[in-house]
Amino acid sequence: MLKVNEYFGGTVKSIALENEEGTATIGVMEAGEYEFGTATIELMTITSGSLDVLLPGETEWKTYETGETFRVEKDVKFKVKAAQQVAYYCLYI
């Protein structure tokens, strides 16, 4: 069964799925700045737009464009900034 998630007053939405690749979400976010926490390792791929990311331990934001992936470790918080609407695919490993 698909699960719909909504965060930050509806400005971030995702649909969770499970298949042979594992558990994942496909989501979208409005322009804005957000902080997320992880319970597992996450591989996040930008599927449309671009996203500025500040990973734990880093001091500089890095921009990820359509088709690029970044890794977030388990049990940490990370920040993202979207200048416009952005879509992503997040695989939980």
Quote the number of domains for the chain: 1
The residues with which 15 forms a beta bridge, in sequence order, are 4, 26
Average pLDDT over residues 12-19: 95
Q: pTM for the complete prediction?
A: 0.92
Residue ranges making up the domain that contains 35: 4-92
SS3 10: helix
Question: Is 1 a residue whose pLDDT tops 80?
Answer: no
For β-strands 3-7 and 42-48, DSSP reports them as unpaired
Q: From CA 47, how far away is CA 67, in angstroms rounded? A: 6
pLDDT value at residue 54: 98
Q: For residue 16, what is the domain's CATH number? A: 2.60.120.10
What are 43's two structure tokens? 């591989």
Predicted confidence (pLDDT) per residue in 43-91, tens digit: 999 999 999 999 999 999 999 999 999 999 999 999 999 999 999 999 9
